[in-house]
A and B are shown apart, each in its own frame.
Chain A
């Protein structure tokens, strides 16, 4: 390095970025790609294995038909053509987490080709062309113990868990994404987000980036001007959150611009993204890259997807996420901003389910984006994983609207449900949360409050209606929060002879 530091705006002023995104999706099939082992996440290491996914001598793969159908549905949802004839191929390289030292993948005959996905960034639509979507098997997972890098080199020893080996993966590869300019990082994020939403709507994957069921590799290159030949690209791996996708692309644009501005050359290599430092470090260069010696997998028959099969699957496609969002926004009467908050909080399905269970749109949004979002942020647990069902939220909302709970009590009910004390009604019963709205019981407390706060009462009488809040507070305190605050206010004003 020599010259002055290049920031993102300067980088974009001098160079035109071109992106390419490769997304790996773990399918949520019950069994693995080529054997009957379960795919559940988080099992004891090497308990979800068999001769096939361990690659024991003599074992043979058998294709999981559900995984093939998922791949075809993904292809169709991405507007791809489904190949009438597609083959598996072996990708040969040695690594301890690969039981056979080859990965069954697809090479020159993938299941789906030539599609696109449209994404919106700040009101502008970008069409992302899809090169291909192909099927493959996941590898095992290595844990390198000792050493400073957590990588295999320098480790004292390594452990391998083959539970993940053979889990079906779909790799979705874009064509070069051009013309995004300064919006490149946002477009990259929007694409992965849109893809995630689409995959979730298809129901084919858990799409949990933090669990690795959705993984993104970002290819970035710079060129001096639009329409110039592509520059040398780098491929950034280990980008494991939506935010990281944006940050990694931005960082790589800056890093490459700095090198080019200093008169250097970009090396074609893989780079590793580090979430903590926000930087990438060099991995394997092109010269060190393996020759994978792809050849057609002789243990498997080609997949022949006839027209009828394709059309039957096309009929199962869900409403496209963008269309669905627009429909729900209109039905719920949310503003664009409100809808964006809902989507960003990953609360769309939760709110939809809460409304379906009887809540109003406003009520459902209030809980999921308010109290529950706060708890999700505090605990770092996703909304959907907090441990409260949309139906429980709808019930709480119902109890409020029928006057049985106030907001404060409702929060206690939420506490109880989250603590595993049972359903909303069970928590209400167990904790004795009954809103005191019986005027008889409240009248005494109201009189007491007026007697004990004569100065405030006088203020109210003299027309400062806002001061009644202090008296409401006193009544609420006396009733330990179990009074209907609105009714208390009404009774106080009546007693003091004040009209609002």
Chain B
């Protein structure tokens, strides 16, 4: 059961081949069998999942219409608000907080009939590329449990890769869906900024964050994408535009005449040899299927990482100010002797991990009076130039292609004390966040150690469907079927 695609599961439940309860039970059993080692889940909602499954079965029995995800289990990154289910963001500071409301995407899932099976592990407040920054222990890569799964959405990537859930949701601020997708050999998509509601997504960097799907196939990713996308009046940055036809695009893998741009700045230096080899082989396959491969020049991409590490921490420093022990979550030092400022300070000292503190300090500094123009102001200018690079590149190419990450999965602990080397993991994924354009990572092969390699497609804003056409084509061309 757990090897079936989400589309097959939804179709089988709708057809009565098996019940939603059987499906949910199979995945719950799978989690019980594997998660002791993998630690992909922070919370498994067995009772809630079974109740949701039973409700789908009842609907079907009584002939009521079923949603597109009816009975399909979905795991949710623990950065999304789920009414009645604890939401931790991988941090101690939210200890005990149970959201009184659903994120819009959570509600979308419920309305589509999805079975919310649990909440997945992540780098604290989505800050990291390895899921080692979780306050609740690292998640392990199912391809080799001594390795990191990527991050920050490592739990969601692993849940899908290890077939603990057919689908999962992650969030991507600088690569947090695409990079773990690459590390775990699954498909991960960061939609166009504004394409999916951020309401209920606990903010890391508001102007960069986007919720997106993980799946084992491009078509499954499209299914989940189509359920969560669309305008939301509760999110002012949500785009009031038609949802790109991602489902149809995933069924239409015809890339004849499609111009695929290879970004000069992201095609060679700094990438592991086998990552480059798989990338080059993928381009050959695409060309063989009728795509036109062109080189595009994005000169400002080399400043993307620097700009990102000013804008993102600046927004973090403000977004994370609300965690102050006053209204919810952890409270430390409230013994009647400490002032309110001291309680806030003690709580933040105890509740936040080192990477979160590092970024809060970076951001506070970058926004400070006298430094703002040199740091935040300059970074915003770079951001504008990067968007311009994209605009020019998309005049010459329909989609852009890069390797998703410079390396395949690395050992747990290897980069944890070397933030700069960790930050470089997102070198190819950050530009899309800065410009708000959509990106997809899909697996294209295994390196000599048997670890998955990912390739990234990027498309113009609101042309997410192009990712699915290119992705479905490449998926068919590589014949990717490897499982951990």
- What is A's interface to B at a CB cutoff of 8 Å? 51, 54-63, 90, 92, 94, 96, 99-102, 152-153, 158, 160, 291, 293-295, 298-301
Contact = CB atoms under 8 A, between A and B. Distances in A.
A101 B324 contact: yes
A92 B100 contact: no
Nearest to A61: B236
14 contacts: A55-B327, A56-B100, A56-B328, A57-B89, A57-B99, A59-B200, A60-B199, A99-B322, A160-B326, A291-B368, A291-B369, A293-B369, A295-B315, A299-B203
A154 B50 CA distance: 53
Interface in B50-104: 80-81, 87, 89, 94, 97, 99-101, 103
B349 to A, nearest CB: 14
Contact of A293 (B80, B101, B206, B367): B367
A24 to B, nearest CB: 22
Contact of A298 (B80, B207, B234): B207
B201 interface: yes
A57 B198 contact: no
B420 interface: no
Nearest to B97: A57
Contact of A299 (B87, B237, B326): B237
A94 B341 CA distance: 8
Contact of A58 (B81, B315, B324, B327): B81
B81 A57 contact: yes
Contact of A295 (B198, B233, B234, B376): B376
Contacts of B236: 60-63, 299-301
Interface residues of A: mostly helix, strand, loop or mixed?
loop
Interface residues on B, range: 35 or more
Contacts of A63: 236
B87 A57 contact: yes
A101 B206 contact: no
A491 B161 CA distance: 109
Given A298-B207, A301-B236, 9 more contacts: A56-B81, A58-B81, A58-B200, A61-B236, A96-B324, A101-B321, A102-B321, A153-B339, A158-B340
Nearest to B370: A291
A218 to B, nearest CB: 25
A94 to B, nearest CB: 6
Contacts of A294: 367, 372
B280 interface: no
A41 to B, nearest CB: 23
Contacts of B372: 293-295
Contacts of B315: 295, 298
B344 interface: yes
A293 B367 CA distance: 5
Nearest to B232: A60
B25 interface: no
A54 B324 CA distance: 13
A160 B324 CA distance: 14
B364 interface: yes
Interface residues of B: mostly helix, strand, loop or mixed?
loop
A454 to B, nearest CB: 84
B203 to A, nearest CB: 7
A301 B206 CA distance: 12
Interface of B: 80-81, 87, 89, 94, 97, 99-101, 103, 198-203, 205-207, 233-237, 314-315, 317-318, 321-324, 326-328, 339-341, 344, 364, 367-369, 372, 376
A58 B80 contact: yes
Contacts of A92: 317-318, 321, 367
B445 to A, nearest CB: 37
A105 to B, nearest CB: 13
B99 A96 contact: no
A125 B474 CA distance: 77
Nearest to B233: A62
Most buried by A among B99, B233, B321, B339: B321
Contacts of B368: 291, 293
Nearest to B345: A94
A156 B364 CA distance: 31
Given A58-B80, A94-B341, A295-B372, A100 B235 contact: no
A51 B101 contact: yes
A58 B321 contact: no
A96 B340 contact: yes
Contact of A100 (B81, B199, B322, B376): B322
Nearest to A102: B318
B103 A58 contact: yes
Nearest to A295: B367
A37 to B, nearest CB: 14
A291 B364 CA distance: 10
B327 A293 contact: no
Contacts of A158: 340
B199 A101 contact: no
B93 to A, nearest CB: 10
Most buried by A among B80, B103, B203, B318: B318
Smallest CB-CB A-B distances: 9 pairs:
A101-B321, A293-B367, A298-B206, A298-B207, A58-B200, A57-B202, A58-B81, A58-B202, A100-B322
A152 B234 contact: no
A64 B42 CA distance: 37
Contacts of A160: 326
A100 B317 CA distance: 12
A153 B324 CA distance: 18
A61 B198 CA distance: 11
A164 to B, nearest CB: 15
B324 A293 contact: no
Contact of A90 (B201, B318, B324): B318
B448 to A, nearest CB: 42
Given A60-B199, A92-B367, A293-B369, A51 B324 contact: no
Nearest to A293: B367
A484 B77 CA distance: 85
A60 B99 contact: no
Given A102-B318, A102-B321, A59 B199 contact: yes
A147 to B, nearest CB: 12
A299 B198 CA distance: 9
A153 B340 CA distance: 9
Given A56-B99, A57-B99, A293 B318 contact: yes
Contacts of A300: 236-237
